[in-house]
Structure 1
Amino acid sequence: MTEKERLLKALAGKAVDRPPFICPGGMMTMIVTEVMDAVECFWPQAHADARKMAELTLGANRLTGIENLGLPFCMTVEAEAMGAEVGLGSRESEPHVTAYAMESLADIDRLTSIDVTKGRARVCTDAVRILKEQAPEVPIIANLSGPVSLATSLVDPLLYYRALHRGKEAAHRLNRLSMKNALAFGDALVEAGADVICIADPSATGELIGRRAFEEFVLPYLNEMTEHFRQRHGKPSIVHICGDVKSLGTVLEQLTAESVSVDAVVGIPLLKALASGKVTMGNISTYLLELGDPEKLARVSEQCLSQGVDILAPACGISPRTPINNILAVSETACRYRTMA
């Protein structure tokens, strides 16, 4: 079974020889400095160079045992295209917004629409085409910002969160525009050859906004996005929500994405209870991945697998300082699991 076959079957809820081990990209970046050194492609240059971007994610796949290719390596492509100022970071730090595109939600007309033929959006689509040709049996995951996370990259998050209670129409208007631009970026990535969509919305945690606001301002938009990619392109989706999702109760069951991924504070048994019927994904601590040792990581990985996780994955983005050997310990545990199941 190829890596692509394994992941797509797992996302469809079909039988596989063993759970895949993936790290989607985007917020859940898969790049570490040891991989950069090995393939001689480095941040921040790789954020703006299609060849380097492709070589870097392909290097991560081949050197760490992560069974996918994932791009971009950040959550700033859409925001930059819509008018935010972005710094590309460094060898050990991801791109980040340095200036919002709006001073208030009333400034929404200042925003520009993403042009997928230009800038870093074009870099990402070109990188997908390169990867499709070089590694046809490895699944390519296209990463998009969820509507709340994109909105809070365009305007001060405090202003946005305040609008959820005292300016709802303005918040919905910004959500809709954010979603429209993320969909355009996703369409371009899929048309270039991406196999799976991963939507991360770390700014939409239950701890930050609560269940009621999640149901009104997050759930409908995430579902519209996943239905779009399913109906228009026939592509499955993963949704990642950060933080402790217990406060959301069983709202996660209402997500139409094939798979739900959550933070390390949420164990696999709880995730299976809160998102019944969904393909579960997780849940290796990225803190442990960076600072632990291979033996401990093997034990934690085996625990996740024995608890029935469908897709083994880090719980968040891997730190660039994470040793390759620690990631390999997770990969090797997943590969052995077929003989233990």
Structure 2
Amino acid sequence: MSKIVDFKCTYDNSIGINKEVTEKLDLQFPEAYKYWDSMALLAEELKKYDKANFCGLPFCHTVEGEALGGSINFGDENIGPRAKDYICASAQEILNLPEIDYSKGRISEVLKACKHLKDKGENVLLYISGPFTIMNVLIDPRHIFKIFRKDPDTMQAIFNKFEKELLRFVKEAQKAGVNMISYADSSGGLNILGPKFAEQTVEMFTYPLLKKIEEMINDETIVLLCPKTTFALIGTDKAVWKDVNLGEPVKYSEACIKVMGQAKFVGQMCIKDKEFELKNGIIKTINLL
């Protein structure tokens, strides 16, 4: 049985839009969430508001699910896009979903916005979601847990489908100049899956995916893991910590940029915690075994 420790997340599932930012911009919602130019403008303004050192996109965890055919409520200036109606009721329906076309739709607009921001000299953070978060857009979670429990081979086939898509997404992100990738699967944490399924998810999906991403990304790219994912890897002996001393106290988000070229993965803290400081100047990077 795994030794996974849970990370007590204080952030909700959505990336979120700050009302003070949206009120000052002359944008129409929800259209602003759909097109690259308004996405880029929003990302720049949120960076300024948060006093951050990167521009983050997209503003929700529904982009991959929508690109697979999911039904989305695009929200408004207060609440970003979120899942609307489930389109699948069985494992086979998930497996039958078409491949994502990264040249059209909102996922294409996200990549265009990333390229635009990178061309302007910004550090660009792309949020990508794990399989359970993606499936939250597509199917009632009760069906997934039933498949996982009764038919692990079919669950593996579903994992394989999402692995393929996420690797394609990372490849397109690299083409767009993205140099920071955030991977999280808040709907697939220990507190939701339980120890047995959490360990199986690491073995069947998370570890193989991240090993392949490690080989794909260039040395100027860093992957920021949700601490829930980090602790799952550490707890199943798939990764170890490696300390890197940056020589002075530094905010975690800044440390993630400074450590580029020295590590491919970090994940001791949530990147949404803008004020978290490494007072001793040491960032814990992650080595996959």
Deviation at 1:232, TM superposition (A): 1.8
More moved, 100-109 vs 191-200: 100-109
Q: CA-to-partner distance for each residue in 1:126-185, whole Å, 9 max, x for gaps?
A: 101110122x1x311111111222233322101101222112122221121122112222
Alignment check: 8 A CA contact 2:89 2:143 kept: no
Deviation at 1:71, TM superposition (A): 0.7
Alignment check: 8 A CA contact 2:202 2:233 kept: no
Q: How far apart are the structure 2 equivalents of 1:217 and 1:249?
A: 10
More moved, 249-258 vs 30-39: 249-258
Q: What percent of counterpart residues are identical?
A: 22
Deviation at 1:41, TM superposition (A): 3.6
1:106 aligns to 2:92 (yes or no): yes
SS at match of 1:179: helix
Q: Which residue of 2 aligns with 1:188?
A: 172
Change (3 A) 1:131 1:102: same
Deviation at 1:219, TM superposition (A): 4.8
1:197 aligns to 2:176 (yes or no): no
Alignment check: 8 A CA contact 1:140 1:196 kept: yes
Q: Which residue of 2 aligns with 1:178?
A: 162
1:44 aligns to 2:18 (yes or no): no
Change (3 A) 1:85 1:256: farther
Alignment gaps of 5+ in structure 1: 1-25, 260-267, 269-276, 290-300, 312-341
What does 1:230-269 correspond to in 2, within 5 Å? 230-234=214-218, 235-240=221-226, 250-251=234-235, 254-255=238-239
Q: Which residue of 1 aligns with 2:207?
A: 223
Change (3 A) 1:38 1:75: same
Change (3 A) 1:204 1:217: same
1:169 aligns to 2:157 (yes or no): no
Q: Which residue of 1 aligns with 2:269?
A: 281
Q: CA-to-partner distance for each residue in 1:264-308, whole Å, 9 max, x for gaps?
A: xxxx9xxxxxxxx965224877xxx9xxxxxxxxxxx57x54487
Q: How far apart are the structure 2 equivalents of 1:279 and 1:183?
A: 19
Amino acid at match of 2:66: E
Q: CA-to-partner distance for each residue in 1:16-66, whole Å, 9 max, x for gaps?
A: xxxxxxxxxx95626311112234345422221100000111111123201
Q: Which residue of 2 aligns with 1:87?
A: 73
Q: How far apart are the structure 2 equivalents of 1:46 and 1:309?
A: 39
Amino acid at match of 1:238: L
Change (3 A) 1:282 1:241: closer
The aligned length equals 251
What does 1:60-71 correspond to in 2, within 5 Å? 60-71=46-57
Deviation at 1:94, TM superposition (A): 2.0
Q: How far apart are the structure 1 equivalents of 2:242 and 2:28?
A: 33
SS at match of 2:125: strand
Alignment check: 8 A CA contact 1:104 1:159 kept: yes
Structure number with the higher helix fraction is: 1
SS at match of 2:84: strand
Deviation at 1:82, TM superposition (A): 0.9
Q: What is the root-mean-square deviation in Å for CA atoms of aligned residues?
A: 3.3
SS at match of 2:194: helix
Amino acid at match of 1:71: L
Q: Which residue of 1 aligns with 2:129?
A: 145
SS at match of 1:62: helix
Q: How far apart are the structure 2 equivalents of 1:257 and 1:112?
A: 38
Alignment check: 8 A CA contact 2:62 2:81 kept: yes
Alignment check: 8 A CA contact 1:88 1:96 kept: yes
Amino acid at match of 1:74: C
1:123 aligns to 2:109 (yes or no): yes
Deviation at 1:258, TM superposition (A): 9.0
Q: How far apart are the structure 1 equivalents of 2:134 and 2:94?
A: 13
Q: CA-to-partner distance for each residue in 1:182-239, whole Å, 9 max, x for gaps?
A: 2222221221110021111001111211222122124542233333332122232122
Alignment check: 8 A CA contact 1:205 1:242 kept: yes
Alignment check: 8 A CA contact 2:222 2:266 kept: no
Q: TM-score, normalized by length of structure 2?
A: 0.75
Alignment check: 8 A CA contact 1:172 1:217 kept: no
